[in-house]
Amino acid sequence: MRRHPFTFAEVLVAVLVVALVVPVAVRGIALARRLVGDDVQLEWTVRLADEKLNELQVTGEWENGDSEGTFADEPEYRWVLRTESFEPDTSLPVTVLRLTVSRTDAVRPTEATLVALAANPTVMEE
């Protein structure tokens, strides 16, 4: 049996299909890589927020009221602590701690806010 080579039309169709599929595939891969990068940055932001909130609670620095600052090892990240009394029942000796960590110098800014309740030690002692 004798084999026939591809015709010019078949070669053109194959090149056209490749020319259409390759850019779409490359764009999809680039989008996936960017999304993975965003997830990693958000995870790091949440981890920094969790560590800072724990530090503020353990050291009792939150009792000084609202404060803000940066991280020594991560100067591009900034944290802001806002404190307020617990709304449903102001007679409870509880303060709401709202810590926001953000990175604004990135191409796509990232922000994470964690909220915790803390007992007021001055009221608890009475």
Instruction: Dump pLDDT digits (tens) for 31-83.
Output: 888 777 778 888 999 999 999 999 999 999 998 889 999 998 888 899 999 99
Q: Looking at residue 125, what is its pLDDT?
A: 44
pTM of the predicted structure, to 2 decimals: 0.67
Give the rounded percent of residues in the chain with a pLDDT score beyond 70. 87
Which of left, alpha, beta for 60 (phi over 0: left; psi -120 to 50: alpha)? left
On whether the CB atoms of residues 81 and 98 are closer than 8 A, the answer is: yes
pLDDT at 124 over 50: no
Strand ranges for the chain from DSSP E: 67-70, 77-85, 94-103, 110-119
Report how many helices (DSSP H) and strands (DSSP E) the chain contains, helices first: 2, 4
Q: Looking at residue 91, what is its pLDDT?
A: 66
